[in-house]
Amino acid sequence: MVKLRLKNRNVKKRCHIYAMLRAQGKHLSFHTPGHKQPGYDVTELSYTDNLSAPTGCIAKAQADIAEVLGAKQSFILTDGSTSGVLAMLHAYVLAGYQSLAIPDFAHKSVKNGCKLCHIAPVFYTAEDLSAPQTVLEKADGLLIVSPDYYGRIPNLQQLENACKNANKPLLCDGAHGGHLKGNAKLYAGFFADMWVDGVHKSLPALTQGAVVSAKTEFWAEYLRESVDIFRTSSPSYPVMASVEYAVKYPPNPRLEDAVFAVAKTNDRVIVNDDWTKFLFKGGKRAYEIKQALERRGIFAEFCDGDLLLFYLSPATTNGQFSALCRALKKVGKQYPYERIERIPAPEFVAVDGDMENIPLAQALGRVCAKDCGLFPPCVTLIARGERITQEKIRVLQNADGTFGLTDGKITVCKADAEE
C-alpha cells in the first residue's frame, strides 16, 4: 500500500493534491503502475487531474505555489531540479538569448543544459559577482546559484539591479533555496526572471520534488513549452502532493535561532547566510569524523575532505539538532582540528590527442581530460586540462560518491604520459 506521511496537520488541510488522494474510494487498478497496489501511487485517471494539462487539484496546487513563491506561474516537477534547470535554459533560448554567464562551480545540470541547448557558457567565479556589470558585459544574461551547497548567497538586490540596467535576464538555480520563500532579502525568486526551487532538498518533500517558476507572462509562456519537453509524462502523485505540502510548510524560527546560536559559540561550526547548511570544520580528520559519526548513526550530506555538511530543514526537530550538536562535541574532542594547508591554484594545460582511463593512485601529475568531482555536490573538483594533485586524489579516493570517473578510474591525456 503506497501512502504518504505528512506530519503537519494545518498544512495538510490546505493541500489540494493530498486531499484528492485521501478521498480515493474503492479502487481496483487496471492501469499503470504495474505494482497494482492500492494507495497514492496512481496515474492520470478521471479524478486525479493531469500535470501536463491541469484543470483540477493540480491546477489549484500550482496556483497556490505560484502565490507563495511570488511567481506569475509555477510548474511542479517530479524529476528533480535538473529538469527545471534544463527547462529554464531551454526557455531562455526560445526567448532568443544565446550566451549565458554561469558560475564555474555550477551544478552539472547547468553545464549539461548549456551543451544541450547550444548556449555559450561564460564562466565567472564567486568573486567576479562583486562587479556584476563586468560579468554581464560578456554574456546575454546571468545565471546564479543561490544559495550554494555551503549556504552562500550573493547580493541579490545588486544583481537584479545590474541585470535590469543592462536589460538582461537573471536566472537562478535555487536547488538549495526553497525554504527561503518569503524572505525578502534572501529568496532568489524575488529577484530572478526564472528560477528553480529544489524543494526536496531543504523542505519536507519527497526526493525529486521541485518547482520551476517564471516572474512574468513573457517567461511563463516559454517555460510552459520547455517544461513540457523536459518533464516526465508519468509524474509521481506522492511526489507532486509532497511538493505542494513542502511549499506550504511554515518556517522554523526556533531552530533557525538555535543554529545561529551554536555557530556563534562553536568555532568549528560555520553557518554562512543560510541556516540549513550547517558546516563542521573537520580539517585533516574530516573523514575520521564522518566515520565516527556514522558509527553513532549520524549521516552528513557530504564531506569535501575538509568540511562536513549537515543539511537541515524546517522539518528537522530540535531534538534531532541537539543530538547532532552533542555528537559533534564528543567526536570533535576525539579528533581535534588540524588545518589543511591551502591548496595551491591549479595548473592548466591544453588538452588534445588520445585519452585513457587510469586508477586514481597513478594519476599524480597527469592532465585531467574530463571534469570530475564529488557527488554530491556535483561541482567540478578537477577540471579538464587541470594537472592532478595529490590532495585532490585524496579527496576523490575518500569520497562516498563521485561523478566523471569511469569504473573508479580518472580520464587523462595520453600524450602527457609519453612526454
Phi-psi label, residue 167: left if phi above 0, alpha if psi -120 to 50, beta otherwise: left
Closest to ligand PLP by CB, 376 vs 404, is 376
- Our finding on whether 213 is near ligand PLP (CB under 6 A) is no
Question: Which residues inside 23-82 make contact with ligand PLP, applying CB under 6 A?
Answer: 80-82
Q: How far is the CB of 239 from ligand PLP (least distance, A)?
A: 11
Kindly tell me which residue out of 135, 145, 241, 243 binds ligand PLP, with binding defined by CB under 6 A.
145
Total count of residues recorded for the chain = 419
Q: How far is the CB of 392 from ligand PLP (least distance, A)?
A: 20
- Our finding on whether 367 is near ligand PLP (CB under 6 A) is no
Q: How far is the CB of 174 from ligand PLP (least distance, A)?
A: 8
Q: How far is the CB of 209 from ligand PLP (least distance, A)?
A: 8
Size of the site for ligand PLP (CB under 6 A): 15
Per-residue string for binding with ligand PLP, 315-354, x by CB under 6 A?
Answer: ----------------------------------------
User: Which residues fall within 8 angstroms of residue 272, CB to CB, at 6 or more apart?
Assistant: 147, 150, 151, 152, 153, 279
Estimate the crossing angle of helix 286-295 against helix 318-334, to 10 degrees.
Answer: 130
Closest to ligand PLP by CB, 20 vs 196, is 196
Q: How far is the CB of 175 from ligand PLP (least distance, A)?
A: 3
Which long-range contacts does 315-321 make (Cβ < 8 Å, 24+ apart)?
315/7, 315/203, 315/204, 315/249, 315/252, 316/252, 316/255, 318/254, 318/255, 318/258, 321/255, 321/258, 321/259
Query: How many CA atoms, within 13 angstroms, populate the side-chain half-sphere of residue 293?
Result: 28
User: 5 burial class (0-12, 13-18, 19+ CB within 10 angstroms)?
Assistant: exposed
Closest to ligand PLP by CB, 300 vs 351, is 300
Residues forming contacts to ligand PLP in the complex (CB under 6 A) are 80-82, 85, 107, 109, 145, 149, 173, 175, 198, 210, 376-378
